[in-house]
Amino acid sequence: MMKNVLRAVAAATVLTLAAAACGSDNPTASTTVTMTSTGVGHAHETAPWPGDLDVPDLTLTATPHDDGTADLRVGITGFKLQSGEGDVGDTGSGHMHVSVDGHDVGMAFTPEIHLDGLAPGTHHVAIRLSGPDHVIYAYLGTPLSYEADLVIPGEVPVPDQVIEISVDASGVVGGIVDASVKLGDLVNINITSTVAEEVHLHVYDVMAHLTPGETTTLTFTADIPGVFEAELEGPGIQILNLEVK
């Protein structure tokens, strides 16, 4: 996977991220900011953001490296980062839960976050703000989730299998897609959607947001044998039956 090195285009990129409720968009050359109106990943518990406080603002400086690592620096206002875990402390304080491509990768109590083990290509980073008790804050029912795409330079490997799925308001177009891949294959699932939804491939735990009118790609190495399903998380509709053997 980590073939040799193409030139590092590791110029620092500044991203401005905004909470769903606000609404600003600031894409730059190599990274894009995805606005979201739904929570990310599994339905974590949420607690309401204190009504008398402004919704926090978050800026993220991401420095991707060609060795599969990235340094994130979070600038945050309206939220107090504190290192303690446990019971709910001061309202409007806590720490960050970080996920990459739908996987929780850890928690951050300081504004500097180092990520590693990233394959070349685009990765979806999400940062959610939680209280010291790990309960995610939500504003008007929407989790305080800040998301961005991060591009790791390098040669993006060619997938062994590409699965195409089309999704509309009624669910999956043309019935649940049956697909079979070989163990070890690099698989891309391209999902074209007319609706905003969340998609989740179970066990592999690959997740993504679907945006109306766009094609979203899930990329993973099929390293677990068995039969798996991918579904639209909101309505709980199965869209894919994937056999890995």
Partner 1 sequence: MKRRAAIAAGLAVTTLAAAASPAGAHGVGGRVDLPLPVWQLAWAAGFAVAVSFVALGAFWKTPRLAAASVGESLPSAVQRVGAALDPVLKVIGVASFGVILVGAWWGNTSPSLNIAPQVTYIWFWVGVQFASMLLGDFWRSLNPFYTVADVAASIRARVTGKPLSKCPESPATEWPAVVAITSFLWMELAYHASSSPRSLGLWLTTYTAAMLAGAAKWGRGWVRGAEGFGVLFTKLSAISPLHRDGSGNFRFRAPLSGLATLPIVGGSIPFVLVVLGSTSFDGFTRNSIWRDVVTNRSGWNLTFVRTLGFVAAVIVVGGAFRIAIELMSHITSTSSGELIRRFGPSLIPIAAAYSVAHYFSFVFLDGQIVWRLMSDPFGKGWDLFGTVGYRIHYTAISPRRIAWAQTLSIAIGHVLGVATAHDKAVDSYPRDVAVRSQYPMLGVMITYTVLGLVILLSS
Contacts of 236 by beta carbon, 8 Å cutoff, 6+ apart: none
Does 245 bind partner 1 (CB under 8 A)? Our answer is yes
- x-or-dash pattern for partner 1, window 24-43, by CB under 8 A? ------------------xx
Does 220 bind partner 1 (CB under 8 A)? Our answer is no
Structure tokens given for 140: 């008007």
**What is the DSSP code (8-state) at residue 238?**
E
Cα dihedral across residues 183, 220, 70, 137: positive or negative:
negative
DSSP sequence for 85-145: -SS--STTEEEEEEEETTEEEEEESSSEEEE--PPSEEEEEEEEEE-TTSPEEEETTEE-E
Q: Which of 202, 214, 215, 217 binds partner 1 (CB under 8 A)?
A: 202
Cβ proximity to partner 1, 101 vs 233, nearer residue: 233
How far does Cα 93 stand from its chain's mean position?
Answer: 23
Does 231 bind partner 1 (CB under 8 A)? Our answer is yes
Cβ proximity to partner 1, 55 vs 126, nearer residue: 126
Rule CB under 8 A: which of 144-173 touch partner 1?
A: 170-172
Per CB under 8 A, the segment of 54-62, 154-162, 184-192, 231-239 that binds partner 1 is 231-239
Does 226 bind partner 1 (CB under 8 A)? Our answer is yes
Residues 60, 91: Cα–Cα separation, whole Å: 23
How many residues of this chain bind partner 1 (CB under 8 A)? 32
Least distance from partner 1 to the Cβ atom of residue 111, Å: 20
Residues 231, 245: Cα–Cα separation, whole Å: 21
DSSP sequence for 157-174: PPPSEEEEEEEETTEETT
Least distance from partner 1 to the Cβ atom of residue 75, Å: 25
Least distance from partner 1 to the Cβ atom of residue 245, Å: 5
Does 199 bind partner 1 (CB under 8 A)? Our answer is no
Residues 107, 94: Cα–Cα separation, whole Å: 11
H/E stretch holding 61 reads strand 57-64
- x-or-dash pattern for partner 1, window 176-195, by CB under 8 A? x-x-----------------
Least distance from partner 1 to the Cβ atom of residue 4, Å: 30
Cβ proximity to partner 1, 9 vs 245, nearer residue: 245
Strand, coil or helix: 207: strand
Q: Which of 124, 128, 200, 209 binds partner 1 (CB under 8 A)?
A: 200
Residues that bind partner 1 (CB under 8 A): 42-45, 85, 133-134, 170-172, 175-176, 178, 200, 202-203, 223-229, 231, 233, 235-238, 241, 243, 245
